[in-house]
Structure 1
């Protein structure tokens, strides 16, 4: 039995309150959650120090950056009792070989979401936001996640994620610069806005789109045929965490299939824990946002961690775009 506190720093609208309540009651720990809207935001805040967080949930391509910067604690999840439940394909991962730092939270894809009452064409293309059809001009949102947006644009321009081809990157910059005046916003948190029809097209994640569709059947998810990112977010303990033992308890707790299913049932993404399926809502098993159509499977690419020099090139384009 533990006691005390746990401070979790996670993506907004991504944590099931039921999961937290169950953890609090099981371990007598008071949990506080603080939201962020992008990997860059989380990394910047954690690097600055003095944040008071114990846990962070970075995407796979950011985990090696956190590790290299000395920001994560090696908690050895591979030695925890519930590690046996991790699906084999998520054990020896490139961003954390053998899982010495992180445990799976959720995984999914980044594509586009459109409201079919505003646009009846093919949603399976990044042209939705990079060269919007006239009925969507001024109506498009782009989530402020640099790695995803850059990867989508690079693949649209015919390149591969993490390319450092200067000519191609100039093309990418030009595509984004020309597209931006046709956007409405660059905001995070599209689930409610999509379901309320406040936004009719956006770059978005599959689970968020799934949640919006459950409330508004006119929302559809598109897998860009030019290429789209596949990702996994994982739970890591911060090197300067104050509540290390409680954070480790949480890592072990979410590797329990029933608890992993709670995570997925709320945010509507797959989770990487074997045996969690039988605790999942039935509609998760057939949802088009979760089960990638065969025609678009090959277009998905798991985002690698780009070398720092390449990352710097992307950041320069991204910074310019946000002016």
Structure 2
């Protein structure tokens, strides 16, 4: 409290309010600038966004502490890990005003029963993006990057997300999600090691590179592939018939959050249908909020990347958290691949 003297009388004057802020740690190129501008305008809270490129990167950063972030957006496979290690606040989004808009499919997920920690951000699939001017063969196969055709060798990108890549490779060899079958995993390891010399890069920034034809094919997330296609009609998205992951990303408040009320305000904000639609219209993924459909861009309604063709629907596998023993094997294989 400050005091000013006016004609000898002391008047109490409230000090200026501290600036409201929120620090969001999220996947790169994944947050709608329009939605953030709306949030800042409506609340007066300034949002700072820091990017990461994989769940492992985000988890390691949060585990190390001293990061300064308030919120994070882990995939469903990592949410139980974050919760189990005490890294998330039990923010009780299920008791927030806008929770009523969460679609039935996402109200009580196995990875966060009752939605005590997280709310839906966006969800989608992992498949193959291919420039059809470079390759006119079957794109609905993980062989695009695991046993590349000659036309694509040296022009392939692979996402730096271990679980996604390992899952595609495991399904390709007939294995099940989270398998610890040594024979299957030996085949996966040998296939990845043999394929890597034919890859151009291991990078998550695929949107512009696919659109600009800097790469001809990539393991990819469906929304990123759609964004490329909207810039270059020759880009197509394939669903590997041997199996592909169906994932969801979720907004959570960190246990060591600095700006608690601001974070809770943002969590409630993204569950509003119009605001959730802004996320989808930017990143081109489904969002898990009922009623957002009426605010979506028209191109979303018929996009083959968002609406899985019926013939490939059964090949989708809902991603789940694998046991530590399996993850240890996968990390060993992935580390060898990255060398």
Tell me the CA shift for residue 3 of structure 1: 5.4
Q: Which residue of 2 aligns with 1:204?
A: 220
Does structure 1 residue 272 correspond to structure 2 residue 288?
Answer: yes
Tell me the CA shift for residue 246 of structure 1: 0.5
CA distance in 1, matches of 2:119, 2:19: 22
CA distance in 2, matches of 1:214, 1:268: 10
Gaps of 5+ in 2: 1-16
CA distance in 2, matches of 1:120, 1:33: 39
Q: Which residue of 2 aligns with 1:39?
A: 55
Q: What secondary structure sits across from 1:50 in the alignment?
A: coil
CA RMSD of aligned residues (A): 1.0
Runs of 4+ in 1 over 6 A off after TM superposition: none
Q: Give the TM-score normalised by the residue count of structure 1.
A: 0.99
Gaps of 5+ in 1: none
Q: Give the TM-score normalised by the residue count of structure 2.
A: 0.94
The within-5 A match list for 1:11-160 is: 11-160=27-176
CA distance in 2, matches of 1:309, 1:112: 28
Tell me the CA shift for residue 211 of structure 1: 0.5
Deviation track 1:249-298 (CA, whole Å, cap 9, x = no partner) reads: 01100000000000000000000000000000011011000010011000
2:205 to 189, 210, 217: 189
Q: Which residue of 1 aligns with 2:12?
A: none
Q: Which residue of 1 aligns with 2:315?
A: 299
Q: What secondary structure sits across from 1:236 in the alignment?
A: strand
Q: What secondary structure sits across from 2:110 in the alignment?
A: coil
Number of equivalences: 323
Q: Is the 8 A contact 1:2 1:27 kept in 2?
A: no
Does structure 1 residue 254 correspond to structure 2 residue 262?
Answer: no
Q: What secondary structure sits across from 1:235 in the alignment?
A: strand
CA distance in 2, matches of 1:99, 1:44: 24
Q: What secondary structure sits across from 2:75 in the alignment?
A: coil
Q: Which residue of 2 aligns with 1:169?
A: 185
Q: What secondary structure sits across from 1:58 in the alignment?
A: coil
CA distance in 1, matches of 2:316, 2:47: 35
Q: Is the 8 A contact 1:7 1:52 kept in 2?
A: yes
Deviation track 1:107-140 (CA, whole Å, cap 9, x = no partner) reads: 0000000000100111100000000000001111
